[in-house]
Structure 1
Amino acid sequence: MADIDARPNEDRRERLGRIAFRAWRRGFREADLVLGPFVDQVGPTLADDDLDSLEALLGWDDDHELYAWIIGTAPTPLEYETPVMTKIRGFMRDHVAAAVAEGAG
């Protein structure tokens, strides 16, 4: 019975691992530095629906465009304007502020 009960947690850990890999390896460093830490720190707390939205967002091919949506320099298509995008933007603001407070930039 323990094996059956552990499976959902294993599946979730594997899913988060795949998401983290995609978030940290976007190909555009600025996006990596927002999305990677976001997934590492916030990802485990997200509901399955939010993980679905995050996976859809990570499926976007144009990293520069995706980053522009995050920082607000380009309009985000409605299908990607989700609660997860709001969380990513808030995380980015907090993450950048913390890095600056520690002497970065």
Structure 2
Amino acid sequence: MTIDPDSRLRRLRFRAWHRGFREADLILGPFADTHGQSLTGEQLDTLETLLEQSDREIYAWIVGQEPTPEAFETDVMAMIRAFRFEAHASRPTGDGA
């Protein structure tokens, strides 16, 4: 059974937003929303495999608290790390400026 690309992307976006670990949700969800449509089929495969890992591990790899296993040191992980900094820089500071 083949899943159409739109359904696959919707499922990935849902999984990225509903991790159960809020810090991971706030990185992976917006990443999937922003970049999911432009990922290749192979990159979507990589993201699906990544999302099968535990939330705390994924988060630790993204923020550099733990070394990323070689199997997960991919272009998708690099994109997620870069996105984390871009998203953080674009957030309001809360100082009213």
Fold match, TM over 0.5? yes
Partner letter of residue 12 of structure 2? I
Map 1:33-72 → 2, pairs under 5 A: 33-60=26-53, 62-72=54-64
Q: Can you list the C-alpha shifts for 1:48-90, whole angstroms capped at 9, x where unaligned?
A: 0000000000000x21111000011100111111000000000
Do the aligned partners of residues 55 and 74 (structure 1) sit closer, same or farther apart at CA in structure 2, a change above 3 Å counting? same
Query: Tell me, which stretches of 5 or more residues in structure 1 are unaligned?
Result: 1-7
Distance (whole Å) between structure 2 residues aligned to residue 56 and residue 46 of structure 1 = 14
- What's the secondary structure of 1:13's corresponding residue? helix
- Name the Cα RMSD after superposition: 1.7
| Aligned length, in residue pairs | 94
Give the greater-gyration-radius structure (CA).
Answer: 1
* Larger displacement relative to structure 2 (10-19 or 39-48): 10-19
Query: Tell me, which stretches of 5 or more residues in structure 2 are unaligned?
Result: none
Large movers: runs of 4+ above 4 Å: none
Partner letter of residue 64 of structure 2? G
Q: Can you list the C-alpha shifts for 1:16-57, whole angstroms capped at 9, x where unaligned?
A: 001011100000000000000000000100000000000000
Distance (whole Å) between structure 2 residues aligned to residue 65 and residue 51 of structure 1 = 19
Residue from 25, 29, 35 that aligns with 1:32: 25
Among the aligned pairs, what percent are the same residue? 50
TM-score, normalization: structure 1? 0.84
Q: 1:103: how far off?
A: 1.9
Map 1:87-102 → 2, pairs under 5 A: 87-99=79-91, 102=92
Higher helix share: 1
